[in-house]
Chains A and B, each alone.
Chain A
């Protein structure tokens, strides 16, 4: 009996096992070449949860992680501590070796790649004295980050970081002249960085490589729908265009002008326009385009006209009503011109302004009271205007973050023949001064360049005087001043002053008051005070002086 029941039990078990195999198969069957596999395999594929979806699978990394027998966390902590110790003790060989071991242990930890690549490129490189050694560590950090992108191929952060390293570290360091030259000449680096297919020499510029990496990071976001996390979309998506702008600037600084420079700026301009047309998520979640500012402003104007049409006279009525409710003190304070108000009067005037402010909601409310049939339309228009206002606010904010107008204007005017020639002349002037010591030629070229710059500023009135371009021009003025000094002249000399057409730019950018004396002399020639204000003709001091002068006159009488 027992034997039979035992047999039955076993049979039931086997049957249950077989039955359970079916759902197990449906759930867990692995994917093959021609079969998507079970639900889990499909879900894994859809949500890209498989390890192979992250990037390269390295057998060495897998082995070492398994070999730690679950003590990976401890091993990693020890290695981080060792890396810090090696860094402290300036043992760069072992520091790098430790980073490589860590990379094997935590290849999918994005912050690790960013932090340690930064360490190599920014912190270790500056510890070395020889510029070639420095460059070699800059490159090692970049390589390290590149290695990280292999393990995490679709990570926009790492790709964008790579763009930053290649662009900004090489192109903006104090040693950027040497770094840029070495970057182009380093055949071995170019080969390994581009997986054996180095780009042609003219495309090896660090800013162009940086632009490509940024574009790659954006394509990951666009095509693979990866998130940029906490990064600000306004700066993230501007990066390729900024790299192109930096490239255009850099080649001009190296003396490359003409068609190549024009084409570089044209390309920058196009990228900047594309950037403006890109739909980006704002901080409030609304999707905005930086180029749409005009469109929304027109739309708002149109709606406002419609709104005014259904609320004729209501705004004025509301203002009148509220004005009537203002206290006597407030009315007195408002009557005093703003520049003459004391603190209390200013506060009262502010309160009055707040009380007098009439919002669209207030008007819509009054419309509803007065013309109930138009209430719905007024509310609808109010909401729409508020929505557009919000959008305009966000666009303006983001345009400010990206300095959108400036770069748009800049990429436009830099392509013009005048701007290109102006830069070329300034470069030639500097060469004539530093290389050939031809002072007269240098002066003439600088002056020609400044005349062209004045034309550019006139043609682009939206270009602010105190922009980066203004700073560039002050750099030219610095060089020009050096030339003048050698000729025993100064910007303050009347002859030079009258020829110099960029006083406004110089004044706007002389934050350090380097040209204070020259500017003061120039202002005095124009009949202004040293600071550029109209000379005071206020009567008060005259009254004082007559009082003082009066007794002096008496003895004469």
Chain B
């Protein structure tokens, strides 16, 4: 699968972050501090303007101290009571309509989704999960943004604030109440979509009897039959049967089928492996260039997408993955073969056609990074852009022709192992990104993986609810909704937003882009030096500063989404789940505090 941003180990993400950036906790505290200072300043200015400088300072001080006390005295019982109230309100507001819409989408989805793709599961899973995300975020938005403003409008808020509840409890209670409602909806959607995907993609085939041909061994004795299945669900499979008529339909369209003998005929059973959860263990990728000099990246073949870099064939250029914590417990042994299971994706780039129909050959070697012991090359034919699952044999021959054990001899004392891949054909190239080679741990449960993806959708929903409820403490319903929508939209395009703010995107800042748009200038040509250009760029500097500040609190919804993992058939890493949950908690806490102070500014909630 494509993983453009590396997933850091949870603790590293939490404390130190990736090289050159801050960990999540220091970042959280810095942002909180910034917001606190900004709040204090604004609060003081408003209070001083209304009540004089001394009195203003006193009011700010009392607000802060009361606030801290009240937040610390938050009562779970009262929060729960308010959460139940929010749930009842949501129910009254026909939240169940969302479920009906979701079911209608599922019923008519087959009009728009076709199963004649190479990987239909990827398409179906992407579709249902994306539809769920948008729908749930929509519900979260509507519930949260209109709730408090509605209470203000209908004055029902008085029935609450006259009770001994605190502003923080109102905010938290609503957030939790709506979250519970959203969770129930999400659970129902999850179950229905899981059934939908499985039912839609489940199929079977017949064996095309006319295609069967006997297969003989070296002694000319029939050992089985080869053939193919009938065309169903837009595809067919090659079939291998033994003499008893049992065997397998080989992998096509991302799945296989078992074939069993029932009575006197061979029956193809249901599809296997449509939904998978491969568990990869990724390593660190570095390169050697054609002279054998270590490099961080291989060479570019001119592709616009720079995710992969390439090694040139028949030179010393090599892609090297270094894996940590390698030991014999990772070994796979089924009695016939024993070794370290790997998954490999090779992107082939040819500068000449070569022999048409013949795959490009490459080689795999393992090396002990400590002793330098290197295995003999194992040649392989590159399956372009497809996952090839294979074993690095446990018993290996070294370059000195001696026999070695993979785990004893090639793994360093610190548990490291290097896997080196080269392209063997002159003028041809292999392209790699770090996730293209991984150690294959036993597959996880696809159902659990599906749940993890739903958990990431849940996280996004909770964040939207928290933003919506907080915004609605001071804004009217429609404005709070627009505010939250802006957060969601900007959150989905956060990398682009940050890119514009940092000036790494083409076309300049917002003012410059607008100018280019109305003057029909393309985004590449430089603006001619003039007073207008200077004014535009000056205005953009201000905007960019503002954008960069906003980006600090903007949730990156695209990074929170784990749909790609399920769609590509990979397990969502635990680190990713922990990071998402932590981020969610940080947003809920942070926004509840902000919401509390904002609500306190309303006359009614004091």
Contact surface of A with B, Cβ cutoff 8 Å: 59-60, 63-64, 88-94, 96-97, 100-101, 104, 128-131, 133, 136, 174-175, 177-178, 188
Q: Point out the residue from A60, A63, A128, A188 that lies within 8 Å of B231, measured CB to CB.
A: A188
- Does the CB pair B356–A131 fall under 8 Å? yes
Given contacts A128-B385, A131-B357, A100 and B122 within 8 Å (CB-CB): no
User: Which A residues are in CB contact (< 8 Å) with B500?
Assistant: none
Q: In the complex the two chains form, is B384's CB within 8 Å of A130's CB?
A: yes
User: CB-CB < 8 A to B108: which residues of A?
Assistant: 63
Report whether A129 and B384 are in contact in the complex, using a CB–CB cutoff of 8 Å. yes
Tell me if B553 counts as interface (CB < 8 A to partner A).
no
Of all chain A residues, which has the CB nearest B110? Answer: A60
Cross-chain contact A90 with B123 (CB below 8 angstroms): no
Q: How far is the CB of A182 from chain B (nearest CB, A)?
A: 11
Which residues on the A side are within 8 Å of B119 (C-beta)?
A: 93
Is B385's CB under 8 angstroms from A90's CB?
Answer: yes
CA distance A64 to B123 in the complex (A): 18
> Chain A residue with minimal CB distance to B358?
A131
Which residue from chain A places its CB closest to the CB of B346 in the assembled complex? A129
Residues of B within 8 A of A100 (CB): 112, 114
Q: Chain B: which residue is nearest A100 at the CB level?
A: B114
Q: A115 CA to B307 CA in the complex, in Å?
A: 26
A93 near B118 with CB under 8 A, answer yes
B30 lies within 8 A of chain A by Cβ? no
Q: What is the 8 Å Cβ interface bit string for chain B, positions 332-356, against chain A (1 contact, 0 not)?
A: 0000000000000001101001001
**Is B231 a contact of A174 with CB atoms below 8 Å?**
no
Residues of B within 8 A of A90 (CB): 305, 347, 385
Nearest A residue (CB) for B350: A129
Query: Which residues of chain B are within 8 angstroms of A177 by Cβ–Cβ distance?
Result: 356
List 9 tightest A-B contacts by C-beta distance, closest first: A129-B384, A60-B111, A129-B348, A131-B357, A93-B117, A93-B119, A88-B305, A175-B356, A93-B122
CB of B382 within 8 A of CB of A129, answer yes
Which residue of chain A has its CB nearest to the CB of B126?
A94
Give the residues in chain B near A178, CB-CB below 8 Å: 356-357
Indicate if B2 sits at the interface (CB-CB under 8 A). yes
Q: Which of B112, B304, B305, B348 contacts A101 (CB 8 A)?
A: B112
5 A-B pairs besides A60-B112, A97-B117, A129-B385 with CB distance below 8 A are A59-B111, A88-B305, A97-B114, A100-B114, A128-B385
The answer, among B113, B307, B353, B359, for a CB contact under 8 Å with A130, is B359
Q: Is the Cβ of A89 less than 8 Å from the Cβ of B112?
A: no
Q: What is the bound-complex CA distance between A524 and B119, given in angstroms? A: 66
Q: Is B391 among interface residues, defined by CB-CB distance under 8 A?
A: no
Residues 116-147 (chain B) with a chain A CB within 8 angstroms = 117-119, 122-123, 126
B112 contacts A64, C-beta separation under 8 Å: yes
Q: List which B304-339 residues lie within 8 A (CB) of chain A.
A: 304-305, 307
Contacts of A128 in B (CB 8 A): 384-385
Complex CA gap A506/B108 in Å reads 66
Least CB separation from A137: chain B residue: B118
Is B360 among interface residues, defined by CB-CB distance under 8 A?
yes
In the complex, which of the residues B113, B353, B356, B359 has the most CB atoms of chain A within 10 Å of its own CB atom?
Answer: B356
Within the complex, what minimum Cβ distance (angstroms) separates A315 from chain B?
Answer: 59
Partner of B353, one of A97, A174, A188: A174
Q: Which residues of B contact A88 (CB under 8 A)?
A: 304-305
Residue with the greatest number of chain A CB neighbours at <10 A, chosen from B118, B347, B350: B118
Closest residue on chain A to residue B384 by CB atoms: A129
Known: A63-B111, A129-B360. A93 touches B123 (CB 8 A): yes
25 of the cross-chain contacts (CB-CB < 8 Å) are A59-B111, A60-B111, A60-B112, A63-B108, A64-B112, A88-B305, A90-B305, A92-B118, A93-B119, A94-B122, A94-B123, A97-B113, A100-B112, A100-B114, A101-B112, A129-B348, A129-B360, A129-B382, A130-B359, A130-B383, A131-B357, A175-B356, A175-B357, A188-B231, A188-B236
Q: Which residue of B lies closest to A173 (CB)?
A: B356
B527 to chain A, nearest CB (A): 24
Residues of B within 8 A of A59 (CB): 111
Instruction: Specify the chain A residue showing the minimal Cβ separation from B356.
Output: A175
Complex CA gap A175/B117 in Å reads: 23
When distances are taken between beta carbons in the complex, the residues of chain A under 8 Å from B307 are 89
Contact in complex: A91, B2 (CB < 8 Å) = yes
Q: A64 CA to B111 CA in the complex, in Å?
A: 10
The interface residues of chain B lying within 8 Å CB-to-CB of A97 are 113-114, 117, 123
Please encode chain B, from 356 to 372, with 1 for each CB lying within 8 Å of some chain A CB and 0 for all others: 11011000000000000
Q: How far is the CA of A104 from the CA of B359 in the complex (A)?
A: 37
Please report the C-alpha to C-alpha distance between residue A93 and residue B384 in the assembled complex, in whole angstroms.
Answer: 15
- Closest-by-CB residue of A relative to B117 is A93
Please give, as numbers and ranges, the residues of chain B lying within 8 Å of A131 by CB-CB distance.
Answer: 356-357
Tell me the nearest residue of chain A to B113, going by C-beta.
Answer: A97
- In the complex the two chains form, what is the Cα distance from A177 to B123 in whole Å? 33
Q: How far is the CB of A5 from chain B (nearest CB, A)?
A: 45
Alpha-carbon separation in the docked complex, A136 to B117 (Å): 11
CB distance from B382 to the nearest CB of A (A): 7
A393 to chain B, nearest CB (A): 42
